[in-house]
Structure 1
Amino acid sequence: MDPEQARKEYLDIFTEVQALAPGDWTKVTPDKPGGVCVRPLGTEGTKVSFDSSRSPLSLEEMDALHDKVKTLFEATGFTVKQESDGGPNFVRHTDVFGPDKFVMGLTTGKYEINLGGNTRCFADPEGKFR
């Protein structure tokens, strides 16, 4: 996957997850530089990070959001891990792991909802995207 494909894939999925909880999300900056990651055979690659947040929803709406995100990613074959701290702030995590070090995490709680992660690690021999 080339850099533009990796960024587009991630941003499309990121936008789809945000649409499951419409509202006032902070701005995503898809043009910011990426970071170093390790590719197969120890070669160096680049990954791009995306982060956004919004105000919380009701506990029931947050639970439904996590269920929708789980369903969305299980259909892609990505690995989904969910956990809840059970405390008074209602913190719950859904973490997604895909090919080439693709990672996306949704965290909800009493005070905020956060969505973030990294694109696939893509070849970037000239360091053009860092």
Structure 2
Amino acid sequence: MREGAKHAEETCEVTFVDEARVKRAKGRLPADDRIAALSEIFKVLGERGRVKLLLALSEEELCVCDLANLLGMSSSAVSHQLRLLRNLRLVRSRREGKMAYYTLDDDHIRHLVEVGLRHIDEKR
């Protein structure tokens, strides 16, 4: 299919605004602060290393050294990425002596990752 033909399928050929639909859609949108927070989560997930961290932590609790070894990254690089993820409440940590262990913050994060993978798999 030509690029121009594909573009024509994706746009309206006439200008007509259905005010009732627009009003309903606008009423369903979350508040701007929630949209901004969601946008930050997706922005952070736009980096492959962070997604790998979440995938690893979706299976079990791991320490920074384990994650560094698993992902072939330095401990300081892993710590930096984990800090970003923790600031958005995507992961949480606990200390045991001198060790810091990380896991996903809750099942919502695991579900987000699983849904993303299912979406990829259904398109194949």
Establish whether TM, by shorter chain, passes 0.5: no
Tell which has more relative contact order, 1 or 2 (C-alpha 8 A, sep 6+): 1
Normalising by the residue count of structure 1, what TM-score does the alignment of the two structures yield? 0.28
Name which one, 1 or 2, has greater alpha-carbon Rg. 2
Greater strand proportion? 1
Normalising by the residue count of structure 2, what TM-score does the alignment of the two structures yield? 0.29
